[in-house]
Structure 1
Amino acid sequence: MSAHPTPLMPSRPSPNDDETIHGKDAAFPFIGNFHKTLPHDAFGLVDRNAYAALVRAAEDARPGGDYEALAPGLVPPGSLPSGDRAAAAFVSPQAGRARESLGPDPFALNIWPAPEVCSASTAAEMTEVFYMASWRDVSLELLQGADMANMQSVQDAVAELTPLFQAAVDEPDAGRLRLGLDLPQGADGRLKLTPMTLFRSGFVDEEKGPLVSQFFLHDVPFGTQTIKQTQFPYAPRVNYLQNTQDWLMAQNIGRDAHSRDYSRANGFGDDNAAYEPGNRQRHIGSMRDLARFVHKDALHQAYFNAALLLMDWDAPLDVGNPYRPGGRYRRQGGFATLGGPNLLTMVSEVASRALKVVWRQKWMVHRRLRPEAYGGLMTMQHFRDKAFGLPDWVFATRAAGTIREMNRSANAGTQHAADDNFLLPMAFTSGSPAHPAYGAGHATVAGACVTVLKAWFDEKHPIRAMVEASRHPQTRLRRTLLQPMVIEGPLPPYAGRDADELTVGGELNKIASNVAMGRTMGGVHWRSDNTRSLRLGEVIATVIMAREVKEYAEAGVSFSYCSFDGHEVRIDPEGVKVPSDRALEDFYRPLI
């Protein structure tokens, strides 16, 4: 893959114009912004004074700010059969004010303006989110095939999304989707949307093999214990917030019918129908399964597991590690430095620093709405005559029609049978978490952790032979590449013609994309939240490694990796070197 010029991050905070255009003097204030758990009217429009107070709290540098004084949304008495009706707590709004010494200062980095709420880019992103929601339960091996379970083919989705994404790229909006940054780009510089790039990020080698990374499918040796990579799956075809009453309650208080907020949603014992029956576990095999994982994961869990697997598979180290076989040292081995404990600590360290940086972007700069809220805007514009200005075509896509029918079917025979809407069916009982969409915490952590792993190991090394040479930590049977499927028991071997083309770096890029896009598959993030936050995480990890490499006593230590944009990056005690993109190299210099 040839490297394309890297779109450099802005030097100053860069929110889009949604708070200005749809602000206090507008007929429909703040429709493009996050305001979950604040008071709303019957149309889901936020109380403008309450939102203005949220902005003041975000801009207040005093410890504690004014968040505790913000008015909560309310629900009518009796709406919740159990528990209280207090609004869910905002998620860590002061984290972005924290300072940092190991990693970059959260105030030193910025990301691009997000697409505006009425833009073609956001409408195209919503169309993709609709497709993901409608295909949550399709076994993932079918995404590379023909017709799917809902009688809608992958090729038809590619045909519908291609012109929509191209129109987004071509629009004048400053936050518009960009080729190479947000969307897969071919060597010819054009949009490359195919069944093998659909719902992926377009990274190096990511389009090879199954959609799900091998690092998600193999059991993990953890000392003398084994981490089994199976989970209790959420039940198929069970979605939430598909009627206006439930949706509005979620906007007002951020809780489900059992008074649970996002972190405790889909709770065991609350509703047995939320999980597949029989108390069974299985591997990730569908988009709902990916959404399930990223709902309850320990945030850097996937990459910690990947590090353990790579060490168990004897993955070759990067050439800059003097302890690699054939390296400079014969009578010494890495451990406290440039060995396993150093790697596992570094994967954890970058995750913590990444959250501080992205949380400042969320609360203090962008405050972007979630797809869940956009589905409400679509419903109110189309059925309640609210002239928000969303593009007319967003209601007429095949994906939007499928969602409308899904909601009609879910509401049939209930008190909501007459509720015609375009609400986004959510995978989680309480909908999205109580913090803004942009940037994405999971994606920023993914970008940071995966960058460390790509820099630590030889990422161009093919993965098949080293997997097949390893043994399962419990059964001691030889492993094979695996095919993700919605089945019980062992997964079948992956037998695709590109099996020998899977690489360490490609599967690491893929797991980062899996986690980021898994959040979109659950309904809580936009594509651009993910693609841009992955780059933010890459920058954070690069800065941390560039600082840490100066601390080693070993001579001549370096790290190298291929960036998400296809650039070869080398980190050594002299700094960060990017021969194919001098502008990116200059970008890093003042951050080290």
Structure 2
Amino acid sequence: MSKNKDKPKKKSKVDESSNLKEIDSAEIGPLSALQRREAAYKIRKNAASYQKNLPLPSHPSNGDEDLFPNKIGNYSKGLPHNNLGLVDQKAYKALIKSLSTGDPENFASIPMGGSAKLSNPQSAYAYDLVGPDSHHLVIIEPPAFSSSWIASEAAEVYWQALTRDVPFSDYDTNELTLEAASDLSTFSDFRGPKEKGKITTGTLFRGNTPGDKEGPYISQFLWKDIPYGPSTIIQRYRTTIAGDDHLTLYDEWLNVQNGVKTSKKNKLDPTPRFIRNGRDLSMWVHQDFTFQSCLNACLILLSYGKEALNETNPYNGSTTEDGFITFGGPHILDLISRAARSALSASWFQKWLVHRRLRPEEFGGHLHNHMTKASNYPINKELTESKVISHVFSKYKSYLLPLAYPEGCPTHPSYPAGHACIVGAGVTMMKAFFKESFVIPAPVESSSDGLSLLPYDGSPLTIGGELNKLASNISIGRDTAGVHWRSDGFEGLKLGEAAAIGILQDFKKTYNENFAGFSFRKFDGTTIMI
């Protein structure tokens, strides 16, 4: 037996005292290890207390789920449906029970119509430890099924489908885009941008943010070369051939609603092109990864150097230091990716636990059955009397919405748009760090065939305006594909913006620099100081 077995061990200095200053250390700085630990705890606690003490939110809905027992106003893709595309009531009730309880076992027993799976509804319950909780962010209720508002949004997505192959540079002269602008101007509650109360080819399918109506339709950040480490990415992309539209046959449409996976694929154009029309944009937002548009834009912005940084950057004018880990490239890139997931969390909460709004392709099925008198639904007459409906029927022999993707929309509800939330958050982060008034050098625009970029010599294009336009392009690009509504996008941008603002609020007091705060212009045109 060892003679030291029962001998007590000598206590270390850590054991003898909680005062960490007694530990030998080479560390220097204004705070001891113990003081640093307490300061870090206080920052975390204060941030959590700030979020906790905000007023409890109310989450309004448009009331369609209660108004229509057959659930025509709600998302149900992937569940079983009858021949009219109406969801099986037992399956829908099982979905609601799962969402109400949050019980994973309930989700496992939802009756499904095919092999397609619902997209991650349980993420709606996840918590974030930085920024606002996803359940604490609010958006307005979406337009109701029978409203003139949704009628105008439906007409817009139908016109976008019909004009996918029209080059943006030809909008002022093309017969279809001229007719689309005229027709949309007749709707009583269309909420897109206008000029003197009318939609014009200069405002057609554009966003509502500051800078959206300036210059070419596509943002410079979707055209200009991207510095990518030791290489450069030229923004020519794979797209599809003209007329590659889908789900215009009723049986095919119904199978997709039931979750039956289609074997059809997009027909690809063999030649990569710069984005020059709605079809190209639709394909870009079909194949991108979560924050790709924001990553690309940030890499372009970082290549502009210090002159492009926001006036509030604490290293502006310093003769001894540059920003890097804080207020430099790694800082901005980290916040862009970090905000993307937070924005998605907020979006998925609203999608699954609040609104469950139907997708345009689902609405199109109800419209088809209404117009063919297979059923009778309270669809607003402003839509049924619109010229776009007769155009669609003349071309496709159905009233279904022509989709850019063979599989149609994703398997999660429409409102708000996830793409819009992501880009709204990322663009907000960039506006917090870069100078919005900085004029983008050597602006370009695509040729009508998408094979080359041409110099743009119009009015100056600024970082702020082109970032806002990027947000609208990514958001409205999903509308052009037929998978989202305009309100999904604009409200999604604002939700992503709110998520990003909450993150910036949490981080503001974590910096050592003399920093006055983040200042930028929001999507609604107002200026915020954090």
Give the equivalent residue in structure 2 for 1:45: 86
Give the equivalent residue in structure 2 for 1:406: 395
The reply on whether 1:396 has 2:375 as its aligned counterpart is no
Report the more deviating stretch, 480-489 or 339-348.
480-489
1-structure distance, mates of 2:194, 2:181: 14
Give the equivalent residue in structure 2 for 1:368: 357
DSSP-derived class of the 1:66 partner: helix
Report the CA distance between 1:293 and its aligned residue: 0.6
Report the CA distance between 1:191 and its aligned residue: 4.5
Report if aligned partners of 1:36, 1:254 keep a CA contact under 8 Å in 2: no
Letter in 1 for 2:268: Y
Report the CA distance between 1:257 and its aligned residue: 2.5
Match of 2:60 among 1, 5, 14: 14
Gaps of 5+ in 2: 1-54
The reply on whether 1:504 has 2:463 as its aligned counterpart is yes
Match of 1:288 among 259, 271, 279: 279
2-structure distance, mates of 1:161, 1:384: 25
Letter in 1 for 2:520: Y
The reply on whether 1:184 has 2:175 as its aligned counterpart is no
Provide, for residues 470-517 of structure 1, a one-character-per-residue CA deviation record: whole Å limited to 9, x for no partner: xxxxxxxxxx32112342533111233x2x2x1110000000000000
Report the CA distance between 1:110 and its aligned residue: 1.9
Provide, for residues 512-565 of structure 1, a one-character-per-residue CA deviation record: whole Å limited to 9, x for no partner: 000000000000000000011101111111111111111011112421111111
Letter in 2 for 1:452: M
The reply on whether 1:348 has 2:342 as its aligned counterpart is no
Give the equivalent residue in structure 1 for 2:452: 490
Report if aligned partners of 2:56, 2:136 keep a CA contact under 8 Å in 1: no
Letter in 2 for 1:522: A
Give the equivalent residue in structure 2 for 1:82: none
2-structure distance, mates of 1:87, 1:15: 30
Provide, for residues 369-405 of structure 1, a one-character-per-residue CA deviation record: whole Å limited to 9, x for no partner: 0000111111111113412111234222111111112
The reply on whether 1:275 has 2:268 as its aligned counterpart is yes
Report the CA distance between 1:235 and its aligned residue: 1.2
DSSP-derived class of the 1:157 partner: helix
Matches within 5 A, 1:515-526: 515-526=474-485
DSSP-derived class of the 1:94 partner: helix
Q: TM-score, normalised by structure 1?
A: 0.78
Match of 2:252 among 246, 250, 264: 246
1-structure distance, mates of 2:446, 2:394: 29
Give the equivalent residue in structure 2 for 1:550: 509
Give the equivalent residue in structure 2 for 1:475: none
Provide, for residues 41-90 of structure 1, a one-character-per-residue CA deviation record: whole Å limited to 9, x for no partner: 1111111111111111111223x2522211111xxxxxxxxxxxx42111
Report if aligned partners of 2:163, 2:176 keep a CA contact under 8 Å in 1: no
| Percent of residue pairs bearing the same amino acid type | 35
Report the CA distance between 1:247 and its aligned residue: 0.3
Provide, for residues 410-434 of structure 1, a one-character-per-residue CA deviation record: whole Å limited to 9, x for no partner: xxxxxxxxxxx21000000111110
2-structure distance, mates of 1:488, 1:528: 29
DSSP-derived class of the 1:37 partner: coil
The number of equivalent residue pairs is 475
2-structure distance, mates of 1:491, 1:65: 54
Give the equivalent residue in structure 2 for 1:303: 294
Give the equivalent residue in structure 2 for 1:79: none
DSSP-derived class of the 1:137 partner: coil
1-structure distance, mates of 2:182, 2:168: 19
DSSP-derived class of the 2:524 partner: coil
The reply on whether 1:535 has 2:494 as its aligned counterpart is yes
Give the equivalent residue in structure 1 for 2:108: 68
Give the equivalent residue in structure 1 for 2:20: none
C-alpha RMSD of the superposition: 1.7
Give the equivalent residue in structure 1 for 2:119: 91
Give the equivalent residue in structure 1 for 2:98: 57
Match of 2:242 among 231, 236, 240: 236
Give the equivalent residue in structure 2 for 1:157: 180
Provide, for residues 241-262 of structure 1, a one-character-per-residue CA deviation record: whole Å limited to 9, x for no partner: 011011001100152135xxxx
DSSP-derived class of the 1:132 partner: helix
2-structure distance, mates of 1:393, 1:115: 14
The reply on whether 1:333 has 2:346 as its aligned counterpart is no
Change (3 A) 1:191 1:354: farther
Provide, for residues 4-37 of structure 1, a one-character-per-residue CA deviation record: whole Å limited to 9, x for no partner: xxxxx993121211110102xxxxx000000001
